[in-house]
């Protein structure tokens, strides 16, 4: 059984804890959160310290894996890269809920999380540290690049491409073959019928670009 810590302790982290428990093969040692006091708890797991404490905690607790349970794609990426630098050799396990479905010839990158009801259909590629939230669906031959995310009930047709750090909102739909650019955000309930450029916020049905966004600009 692999001993892991979870970075974060918010609502998103609660869902990640549930996935880790139900996936099996993992022992959650505790939580890491810079914004809570050591000893505070979420779902029975205590905060062990902040991110700066991680190298020490890895040695003290025999931790072999780190899961970054942060919903914001850019912040998740920043944290993951920082941990990779400060704690070389630590693993970033992939978490797949037993009620998720992964099709034939699909690949799931390190640090990715698939929540209950998520579907990755055949020949898809899910990059490192992606999130497929509850009941989201990535159809055949589609690609999610690193740190991208599908919110609950977001779904795509086949042969779609979701660029790095892009976020597809709750209940949004991507038509077959659509490409969503890097760092772009698709609004909740949007229907995307054509490609969305990099650094773009697209809203509505059919989805239209409404603004550009800077790298790291908050969207949750």
Does residue 5 contact residue 54 with C-beta atoms inside 8 Å? yes
| Residue 220, pLDDT score | 84
- Predicted confidence at residue 89, as pLDDT, reads 87
Active site residue 140: yes
Cα–Cα distance, 207 to 202 (Å, whole number) = 6
Confidence (pTM): 0.95
Catalytic, out of 12, 61, 97, 140: 140
Give the pLDDT confidence score for residue 77 in this predicted structure: 97
Domains of the chain: 2-86 (3.40.50.20), 97-212 (2.160.10.10)
> Which residue's structure tokens are 């490409």?
179
Identify the sign of the CA torsion 100, 171, 71, 120. positive
The enclosing H or E element of 80 equals helix 73-86
174 contacts 190 by C-beta, under 8 angstroms: no
Output the tens digit of pLDDT for each of the chain's 220 residues.
899 999 999 999 999 999 999 999 999 999 999 999 999 999 999 999 999 999 999 999 999 999 999 999 999 999 999 999 998 889 999 999 999 999 999 999 999 999 999 999 999 999 999 999 999 999 999 999 999 999 999 999 999 999 999 999 999 999 999 999 999 999 999 999 999 999 999 999 999 999 999 999 999 8
**Cβ proximity of 114 and 120 under 8 Å:** yes
Q: Give the chain's radius of gyration (CA, Å).
A: 17
What pLDDT score was predicted for residue 124?
Answer: 98
CA 121 from chain centre, in angstroms, equals 17
CA gap 90, 100 in Å, rounded: 26
């Amino acid at each position: 059984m692999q001993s892991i810590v979870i970075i974060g302790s918010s609502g998103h982290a609660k869902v990640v804890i549930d996935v880790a428990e139900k996936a099996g093969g993992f022992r959650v040692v505790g939580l890491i959160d810079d914004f809570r006091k050591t000893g505070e708890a979420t779902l029975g797991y205590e905060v062990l310290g902040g991110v700066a404490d991680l190298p020490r905690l890895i040695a003290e607790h025999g931790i072999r894996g780190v899961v970054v349970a942060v919903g914001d794609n850019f912040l998740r990426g920043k944290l993951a890269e920082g941990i990779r630098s400060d704690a070389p050799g630590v693993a970033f396990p992939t978490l797949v809920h037993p009620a998720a479905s992964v099709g034939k010839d699909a690949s799931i990158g390190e640090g990715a999380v698939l929540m209950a009801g998520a579907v990755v259909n055949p020949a898809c590629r899910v990059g490192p540290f992606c999130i497929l939230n509850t009941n989201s669906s990535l159809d055949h031959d589609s690609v999610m690049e690193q740190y991208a995310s599908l919110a609950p009930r977001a779904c795509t047709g086949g042969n779609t491409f979701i660029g790095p750090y892009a976020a597809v909102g709750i209940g949004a739909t991507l038509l077959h073959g659509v490409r969503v650019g890097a760092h772009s955000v698709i609004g909740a309930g949007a229907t995307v019928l054509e490609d969305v450029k990099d650094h773009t916020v697209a809203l509505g049905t059919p989805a239209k670009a409404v603004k550009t966004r800077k790298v790291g600009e908050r969207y949750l």
